Structure formats: C-alpha cells, structure tokens
Chains A and B, each alone.
Chain A
Amino acid sequence: MSHLHAGDEGIVAHVVPDGRGRADRLAALGVTPGARIVVRQTFPGLVFECDQTELAVERMVACAILVDTTIHYEQIIQTRSEP
C-alpha cells in the first residue's frame, strides 16, 4: 500500500505478520484480506479508508499491507450484490 497515491483504491490481499500481533491488530481495525481500501493521503502519515473506518498508519505498517489494485470497483459491487 505504501506505493499507492491519494485516491487509489484496492482490495487487501494479505497482511504481512511481524510476530508481534501486527496482523491481529490490523484485523481488529477491519484490515483483513478482502476488505476494500481507498488511500486518502500519503504525507506526513498514510491515511486510508477501510470499509467505513478512517485509519492513520505509519509507513512500515503500510508496507505490510499488500493491496490488489487490479480488481475494478464495479466488479466488486457486482459480486457483492449477488446473494
């Protein structure tokens, strides 16, 4: 995610664990594989929206969040609206 720019969107693919509960803590804030994120700002800290939560993280954390940007937004809406 640290390579993304403000306004970029994507789907969380994986959160790299650090052995000290990073993945758990982020999961508790809603950052889990499959969650849609929108980057809002990259400096001085990275701010992004995940689901309905606005989160601020440092660069190290952003590096650990792997985001898939190839899936287009409309596609997600379609798959979501299917029962």
Chain B
Amino acid sequence: MSCPYAAGREPEEQPLLKLRARPLRIALVGNPNVGKSVVFGRLTGRYATVSNYPGTTVAVTRGRALVGAEVCDVIDTPGVNTFEGAISEDEHITRVIVANGQSDLIVQLADARNLRRALVITSQLAAFQKPVVLVLNMMDEARSRGVHVNAAGLARELGIPVVEMVATEGRGLPELRAALSAATVPAVDTTQPATRWAHETTQRFRSIRRRSLGRFQEWIGRAVREPATGLPLLALVLYVSYLFVGVLGAQTLVGLIEDGLFGGLINPWATSLASHLPWAPVRDFFVGEYGLVTMGLTYALAIVLPVVTTFFLVFGFLEDSGYLPRLAIFSDRLFRAMGLNGKAVLPMVLGLGCDTMATMTTRILHTPKERLIAVLLLALGVPCSAQLATIMGILGGISFAALATLFGVVLTQMLVVGFLAARVLPGDRSEFALELPPMRLPQWRNLLTKTVLRIRWYLGEAVPLFLIGTALLFALDRVGALVVFARTAEPVVSGWLGLPATAADVFVMGFLRRDYGAAGLFEMARSGALTGVQSVVALTVMTLFVPCIANLLMIVKERGARTALWILGFVTAIAVLTGTVLNHAFRILGVTF
C-alpha cells in the first residue's frame, strides 16, 4: 500500500522507517495569509516568498523535508477560502492538488483567531478522505487579542492532531513533525451545512476576552483606511518611496557606481586591458559603443541594480506591513469603472515590482474578464521597478512637471483603455469583498531575505539578457542592420515622435527588457542627446510600449497565444499613437519643461 494513512485508522506507534513506493507527499493547505509559506520554509529550508497580504502564493512550490527518518515531499499551495461554489483560479490549483493523487497527507494551517473560517475548510477537507493535521498558527497574536482556543478539546472532537504554533519563531514545528504520523480523516458532522457546523464547533472550543491591541497598532490600522488621514498618509508613503528609490537609488547610488566605480575604475581598466587585443572588432565587442562591459554590464549593474535594490527594500516593507490591501478601499470605485474591483489594486501595485510576476498574480481575480483587463492594463501602463526608477532618474532631473505629465498621460491612458475594455469585452466583474490583513511591523529578517533573493533573481534573469541584448545590438550594428532599421523607423521615430534617429536602438532594447530600454534612454538623456520634451515623449512611449519578452511569455502562458498577440499589437499601436499626439501637442503649445 502506497499510503498507509488512507484508511483513516487509529493512530498508533509508528516504526521509524517505512517502505514506500515514493516519498510521502504533504500538502500545506489553508486560508490565505495564515503562514503556509513560513511553515514551508521551516520544514524544507527552502524560502517561499512570505508577505502580509492574501495571494502572495499563487503557484505551487515544492520542497523536501526530513520527518523522523523519512524524506517527504512538501507542497506549498495558494490560500483557499472555500473548495466549493465559485472559486478563483488560485483556489482551483489548490483544489486539484488536494483532490487528486498529488498529495497523501494534508497539513491544514489555520489562523488561531479565525477558527471558524478554518473549520469550514476542515469540514470540506474531510470530504476528500485524506488524513489531516490541523495547525493553529499565530498563537501569539491570538493570545494578545484575548482569543483562547481549547486545542486538546478540538483534537478530541475532530479526532485529528491539533498543533499550536508560532511559525515565525519556529515554535510548534517539532510537535507538527511528531503529529504527522497520527493524522487521520477528520470526523465532521456532515448532516448540517459546513458553515453551521464550523460556527457551533468554534463556539464550543474558542473563547474571546476582548482585549485592546497596542494603541499604536490600533491607531495606524484606523488611520490608513479613513480618507481624512489615509490619503495624506498615502501621499507620504509615495513621497518617502520616491526619496528612497528616485533620489537615493536612482541619483545618489547610480552616480556613485556609474561615475565612480564603472566610469572611474572598471571601464578604463577594461579598455586598457582590451587595448592588448590585436583585432579592433573584438576590442569593440567588449569596450566599444555596444560593448559587453561598457554597455551591457554598466547598464545592468550601475544603472538598474541600485535602483531595483532600493525599490525591492521599500516594496518588501510595504508588502509585509499589510498596507497594500488597504489601498483597495480607496481605489475600488476607480477600478469598478474599469470593469475590475478594488482587489485589482494588488496585481497593479505588484506590477510596479515586476509585470511578469504581477501577470501571474491576476489569478486572484474572480472572473475571466477581470483577469484579461488586468493583464492588459499591466502590459499597457504599469512600469516595472527598474523602469520606474529610470523614469524618476531622468525626469526628476528635468522638472516635477515632466514627471507629472508622464504619469498623468499614462494613468489617463489606462483609465480610458480600462473603461472601454469594461464595455467592449464580454463577461462580468465580480463584487468587491476583500480581507484586510492585520497591520504589522515587518520582520527585518524576512525583508532582507526577500530582498536578497529578489536581487539574486534580478541578476540571474536580467544580466544575461542585458549581455545577450548588447551582443545582439553589436552584431546588428556590425552588419549594418541597425542603420537600416533606424532609417526604416525614422519616419515614425523622428517624424511622428520627434526623437533622434538613434532612439530606434533603444526601442529594440526595450523589447528585450523594458528596463534595458529605459537605461538606454537614461544614457541618452544624461549625455544631452534628448531635450526635455523628447525625454517625456520617449519615456511615455517606452512605458506604454510592448511588454518585455518575459512578460509576453507569461501572458501567453496565462491567457493563450492569441490574446497575447492581440495585446501586443494593441499596446504598440496605443504607445506610438500617444507619443505622436503628445509630441505634436507639446510643439503646438510650445511646452519646454
């Protein structure tokens, strides 16, 4: 028998080693934002992204854990609120894992405060006839709110092990490992509806003594959601983020690294080293105009890296604080006009980190129409971290009006497209009902781990593409294709958009990666090749321009090739059109910035 627990037999002393055809597969299941990814990390030693908002995990992560003397497969799943009725795409992913043969044993994570909602899941899990262990996580937060759960009584009632845990501190994990062998199918009264059973069981085993939270925590929770204080706070958050990313990252750090490290040290050194090379084209390949070191590495490490690092820090802080979902309260009305609801603020804000990841996060939206509109808007107007920062770096140096114009145009464009899409596309939007996670002070360790991993991911993904892109540009330049391309694109680039012909290169780079293109514009602007008006036009077009290759592939994966091609064509047309109108409007009105 491959799975000795399947019959739901009585727990008994387990031999240390069991013979199995394959490792025991343990699925971590539970409501959103109860700490599944933290437990996954604790069990397997692998880091799954941990944040403080529902929907951080939208795909499945697998890892291995040693339990006793046995190696088990552990599966981290997206959070579920229900397995029945209308479920979202990420909930469906979890349902498949629980329902079919992909898992042998289920560890249900629960927020100890929210026992009632957890028990709804427990009762639905019972129907799958798999052994379950129930974990009451965040016992510390529950206690500080005066919530007490009688775990022993609950274990007797359900007939399954119930483990109390504070996963972030590692408390309760040895108990969980020990309890795995005692897991059985939960005993649930199926004669009444799941919600009523959950309600009654909760009342029997949970007692609440009202206790007020810390004064500050209560104040901040209220302050960020009420308009009178919430909107000024939002402005403050944006401003501080701008100072950190746009000024410290894009100006101070970029200046230090680009001028100091690369301009003063690495590039002269590489050039002198390359001067020993006998053949000019090889020399140029490394240190020429499109050189691997002078362009590829400089762009990746000197211009974009400082910016994404500061951005990931700010972003991770906001993610872990629980602030992001609260933005949905303010933006719900706006998103409803675009055929979405406030929940869409999550993928949109995440898009500022990386549009590719955010495209995957659209799974948390409920209807196909909402997911399509969100993917389209992400591809159209949401600049990713690196791009955002280069925008701030260039336009922040020109004037605030330039920056405001760009964001104004892009936002208007998104609103118009969203508004039209809401009316043209078939289907419905879903109603807005979103859980707000508690506000917490982020844990520095998680913030640093997350940032380091994201930077490593950036270096692994972006640097090779920057180098390949540079090599490609070098080759195109050598065979003269770049000149031909620039000449072909000239009527559009110079005529319609009013940009120098060399800007055509930058748009080729922008397709490889948007930030690569933006870095190219950054260089042009710094060397004085672009005027203020040209910078605004070029950056607006680049922001609206086609999604990068990675994002395009993700759209194909999530929404199919036909939709992806359609989005690609549409977005390109809008970008060029907007740039053209903008260019001519500036000229007619005599705007100079």
Contact = CB atoms under 8 A, between A and B. Distances in A.
Interface of A: 18, 20-22, 24-30, 32, 34-35, 40-41, 43-45, 47, 51-58, 60-61, 80-81, 83
Given A27-B82, A51-B116, 14 more contacts: A21-B86, A22-B431, A25-B431, A28-B120, A29-B81, A44-B330, A45-B329, A53-B114, A54-B221, A54-B438, A56-B326, A57-B433, A58-B336, A83-B204
B199 interface: yes
A81 B207 contact: yes
A37 to B, nearest CB: 13
B207 A44 contact: no
A51 B227 contact: no
Interface in B326-364: 326, 328-330, 332-333, 336, 341-342
B147 interface: yes
A49 to B, nearest CB: 9
Given A21-B85, A32-B195, A53-B114, A44 B433 contact: no
The residue among B116, B204, B433, B435 with the most chain A CB atoms within 10 A of its own CB is B433
A51 B207 contact: no
Interface of B: 81-82, 84-86, 111, 113-114, 116-117, 120, 145, 147, 195-196, 199, 203-204, 207, 221-222, 225-227, 325-326, 328-330, 332-333, 336, 341-342, 428, 430-436, 438
Given A47-B225, A58-B336, A26 B86 contact: no
Nearest 10 Cβ contacts at the A-B interface: A21-B86, A24-B85, A28-B81, A28-B82, A52-B113, A58-B432, A54-B436, A32-B195, A45-B329, A57-B433
A53 B432 contact: no
A58 B431 contact: yes
A75 B197 CA distance: 22
27 contacts: A18-B431, A21-B86, A24-B82, A25-B86, A26-B433, A27-B82, A28-B117, A29-B433, A32-B195, A40-B222, A44-B332, A47-B329, A51-B117, A52-B113, A52-B114, A53-B435, A54-B435, A55-B433, A55-B435, A56-B326, A56-B342, A56-B433, A56-B434, A58-B342, A58-B432, A61-B433, A80-B207
Contacts of B199: 32, 34-35
Contacts of B433: 25-26, 29, 55-58, 61
Contacts of A21: 85-86
Given A24-B84, A54-B436, A61 B332 contact: no
Label chain A's interface by main secondary structure.
Answer: mixed
Contacts, number: 109
A20 B435 contact: no
A27 B199 CA distance: 11
Given A24-B84, A34-B199, A44-B332, A52 B145 contact: yes
Contacts of A34: 196, 199
A59 B229 CA distance: 22
Nearest to B438: A54
* Of B82, B145, B330, B428, most A-chain CB atoms within 10 Å: B82
B86 A20 contact: yes
Nearest to B431: A61
Given A25-B82, A52-B145, A53-B114, A44 B227 contact: yes
B86 A29 contact: no
Contacts of A45: 328-330, 332, 342, 432
Contact of B114 (A24, A51, A83): A51
B332 A58 contact: yes
A45 B341 CA distance: 12
A43 B227 contact: yes
Contacts of A54: 221, 435-436, 438
Contacts of B147: 52
A1 B333 CA distance: 19
B225 A41 contact: yes
A24 B434 CA distance: 14
Contacts of B328: 45, 56
A29 B117 contact: yes
A22 B328 CA distance: 19
B273 to A, nearest CB: 59
A28 B95 CA distance: 15
A11 to B, nearest CB: 11
B116 A57 contact: no
B227 A25 contact: no
Nearest to A31: B433
Nearest to B226: A41
A57 B226 CA distance: 14
Contacts of B325: 56
A10 to B, nearest CB: 16
